[in-house]
Chain A
Amino acid sequence: MHRAETAISALWTLLGIGITADAVQLGIWEPAGPASGFVPLLAGVVIGIGGIALLLRRPSRADGRRFWESGAPALRVGAVLGALAVIAVLMDRLGFVLTAIPMMVFLLTVIERQRWTWVIGLAIGASVGLYWLFDRVLEMSLPKGPLGF
């Protein structure tokens, strides 16, 4: 956990420095008063100082723990994020339903190890049901693919 904590603290410090530098370029003050960079400068300073304070703190007992105790949670988290990323890439091309069905099948079989037979039924039912509810009933216009849905 200590490495993850340190990495994030370092990231805050760098982010704070970056925001501060960009804010200075935007301009801090103009004759009429504060310029575009004034508030971002304050935010950058707060983030940077906070990051440094975290970097300088004493390690605790909790720091000995690992971020993930085993590989399984990391894989499950990665699989969910991967499924979301695939949806984001394909949704505009294939439409909502054709993207959502394989995603649900993937999540329910690969991550949850459920039986194929009812997973396919559930995936089709949930995807089509959500499409019908939001696109047709609530008229929220979800992306459509080559098949028209």
Chain B
Amino acid sequence: MDVLNALAAGFGVILTPANLYYCFLGSLVGTLVGVLPGIGPLAALSLLLPFTFTLPPVASLVMLAAIFYGAMYGGSTTSILVNIPGEAASVVTCLDGHAMARQGRAGAALGMAAIGSFIAGTVSNLALTVASPVLVAVALRFGPPEYFAIMMLGFVTTLYMISGSRVKAMIMLGAGVFLSTVGMDVVNGAERFTFGSVNLSGGFDLVAVVMGLFGVSEILLNVEHLARADVFTRAIRGLLPTLRDWIDSWAAILRGSVVGFGLGVLPGGGPVTASFLSYAMERRLARRPERFGQGAIEGVAGPEAANNAAVAGSMIPLLSLGLPSNAVTALLLGALIIHGVQPGPMLMTQHPEIFWGVIASLYVGNVMLLVLNLPLIGLWVQLLRVPYRILFPCILLLTVIGTYSINHNVFDVWVMIAFGLAGYVLRRLGYELAPLVLAMVLGPLLEQALRQSLIMSGGTPAIFLTRPIAASLVSVAAVLVAVLVLRGVRVGPTDAAAPHPTLEGSR
């Protein structure tokens, strides 16, 4: 009952004209970002983060979260109609979604993607509502050793979740932690790695780094080879799925919801992994797996349900523990910190309007997205006709505006350019950048927890083994590392052979 009362209060927060407006705006921008190839949710969030600084924390978080799940909805439209994933979590939707479009069933594919997303979003929001307070109650017993242990476990599971080289991911984690240490040491005021630069004494700005790594590098990858995609031009009819479609899809939607929610909670998981796993699972469970790739509707329903469910799943560690499970939630955490809100288990009691307001906004945004995605499908199809060659100079200007406006300092623009080049080269060489962002955001929390733990213990690391929760988490992390080592760490000789993520591939 307490949960219901708190959720009702959350609805009270979100159902105000201002917050509804920001939820709608976020859903609209998210759908736009999802629909337009060449800009993913991470790049969009990093672009828009500075523009939310002037908003109240609730409105800012509600809008940024809406962009995240809005992009999951919108991505399917481009996959189905153009055979280009609007964002990475919709890559597998191309396989059967576009095949359905070629067979004249684009409407059914779009309808099932939207309705499946809505059902999965609602199911996972319910799970989030129930699970978050439970996890908060557990997390209130956490001290610095437990926090350090859970962050280490998060880093280790990230190595399991990535698709490329684990050594490269390990380097990215190390680089992220290193970047987070640049600037003044908050404990004793010592300058670290600043080389006497005043601009660096406050450390690298997260927004400038992320804007470069994801926004600028994305543009550089795309301008290399501009895709000339054929937009689906036939009229779209029959958005409501038939009874046959429902019979084929309902189980896939439910399985996708469960898989997506579970993978969303896990550190390193998220919508991309969830959609791939859901597709593989549906194909394995199908009576006629040969239909997959030829227009099987469950190949659209499952992954689309999974990527939406993963969004709500990934909100659990963010809201309950103050720990992001992927790069997008790392940015949301960064937004909370920028607004002066201390993330963690106390968020529910100290800022219930943010905690429950964001959860309630997920329900509201889910309904808004269904409305945006079904009746307005014609509008999104028209948007797909805007060529990327016109869009990218405008996106480039937005990256400059967004980065400059953080501190009104051109130094941040130079940081963005440098990280843009670095991100471009690293992505071309098969490095995944999400672990770097995750580690950069978690770095200060990790360092604080480690140093506090070791001060508490008088310098002995045994503190991580004598407290039950920390010991359990460290043990799991140790077992996972041991399994990695025994199986042979994948150094990744073939990574560079993979097509680099551009308009023609995944991001």
- Pick from B171, B393, B417: contact of A46, CB under 8 Å: B171
Interface size of B in residues (CB-CB distance below 8 Å): 66
Give bound CA distance, A35 to B188, whole Å: 9
Q: Assess whether B394 is interfacial by the CB under 8 Å rule.
A: yes
Within 8 A of A (CB), among B407-449: 408, 410, 413-414, 416-417, 420-421, 424-426, 428-429, 443, 446-447
Q: Assess whether B51 is interfacial by the CB under 8 Å rule.
A: yes
Query: Could you name 27 residue pairs across A and B whose Cβ atoms are closer than 8 Å?
Result: A4-B425, A5-B496, A8-B429, A34-B451, A38-B450, A46-B171, A46-B174, A50-B168, A51-B171, A54-B168, A60-B494, A65-B496, A67-B428, A76-B223, A81-B220, A81-B420, A84-B400, A88-B400, A88-B410, A88-B413, A100-B400, A107-B396, A112-B389, A122-B390, A126-B393, A126-B397, A139-B54
Q: Are A84's CB and B429's CB within 8 A?
A: no
B17 to chain A, nearest CB (A): 19
B195 to chain A, nearest CB (A): 10
Give bound CA distance, A127 to B394, whole Å: 8
Q: Are A36's CB and B190's CB within 8 A?
A: yes
Give bound CA distance, A57 to B167, whole Å: 11
B410 to chain A, nearest CB (A): 5
Give bound CA distance, A38 to B51, whole Å: 36
Chain A residue nearest to B448 (CB atoms) is A39
Q: Which residues of B contact A8 (CB under 8 A)?
A: 425-426, 429
Q: Are A103's CB and B454's CB within 8 A?
A: no
Chain B residue nearest to A96 (CB atoms) is B401
Q: Are A103's CB and B455's CB within 8 A?
A: no
Within 8 A of B (CB), among A75-124: 76-77, 80-81, 83-85, 87-88, 91-92, 96, 100, 103-104, 107-108, 111-112, 114, 122-123
Q: Assess whether A62 is interfacial by the CB under 8 Å rule.
A: yes
- Pick from B54, B192, B429, B455: contact of A138, CB under 8 Å: B54
Q: Report which B residues bind A (CB closer than 8 A).
A: 50-51, 54, 167-168, 170-171, 173-175, 177-178, 181, 185, 187-188, 190, 192-193, 216, 219-220, 223-225, 389-390, 392-394, 396-398, 400-401, 404-405, 408, 410, 413-414, 416-417, 420-421, 424-426, 428-429, 443, 446-447, 450-451, 454-455, 459, 489, 491-497
Q: Assess whether A73 is interfacial by the CB under 8 Å rule.
A: yes
Q: Are B401's CB and A142's CB within 8 A?
A: yes
Chain B residue nearest to A113 (CB atoms) is B389
Q: Are B223's CB and A1's CB within 8 A?
A: no
Chain A residue nearest to B453 (CB atoms) is A33
Q: Are A4's CB and B429's CB within 8 A?
A: yes
Q: Are B410's CB and A34's CB within 8 A?
A: no
Q: Are A40's CB and B410's CB within 8 A?
A: no
Contacts known (A63-B496, A126-B397); A80 close to B219, Cβ less than 8 A: yes
Give bound CA distance, A25 to B111, whole Å: 61
- Pick from B192, B393, B401: contact of A26, CB under 8 Å: B192
Give bound CA distance, A130 to B400, whole Å: 11
Q: Are B413's CB and A80's CB within 8 A?
A: no
Q: Which residues of B contact A1 (CB under 8 A)?
A: 429, 496
Chain A-chain B contacts (Cβ-Cβ < 8 Å), number? 182
Q: Are B167's CB and A142's CB within 8 A?
A: no
Task: Given contact pairs A77-B224, A114-B389, A126-B394, enumerate 14 new A-B contacts (beta carbons under 8 Å).
Answer: A5-B496, A8-B425, A36-B185, A37-B192, A43-B178, A46-B173, A84-B400, A87-B413, A100-B400, A107-B396, A108-B393, A130-B397, A139-B54, A142-B401
Chain A residue nearest to B424 (CB atoms) is A77
Q: Are A33's CB and B54's CB within 8 A?
A: no
Give bound CA distance, A43 to B175, whole Å: 7
Give bound CA distance, A53 to B405, whole Å: 40
A78 to chain B, nearest CB (A): 10
- Pick from B175, B220, B424: contact of A47, CB under 8 Å: B175
Chain A CB within 10 A, most for which of B392, B400, B405, B492: B400
Contacts known (A62-B496, A134-B405); A53 close to B491, Cβ less than 8 A: yes
B369 to chain A, nearest CB (A): 25
Q: Which residues of B contact A76 (CB under 8 A)?
A: 223-224
A82 to chain B, nearest CB (A): 10
Q: Which residues of B contact A26 (CB under 8 A)?
A: 190, 192
Q: Which residues of A contact B496 (CB under 8 A)?
A: 1, 5, 60, 62-63, 65
Q: Are B170's CB and A111's CB within 8 A?
A: no
Q: Which residues of A contact B489 (CB under 8 A)?
A: 53
Q: Which residues of B contact A83 (CB under 8 A)?
A: 396
A92 to chain B, nearest CB (A): 6
Contacts known (A32-B455, A50-B171, A62-B493); A77 close to B410, Cβ less than 8 A: no
- Pick from A29, A50, A130: contact of B398, CB under 8 Å: A130
Give bound CA distance, A16 to B219, whole Å: 29
Give bound CA distance, A141 to B409, whole Å: 11
Q: Which residues of A contact B173 (CB under 8 A)?
A: 46
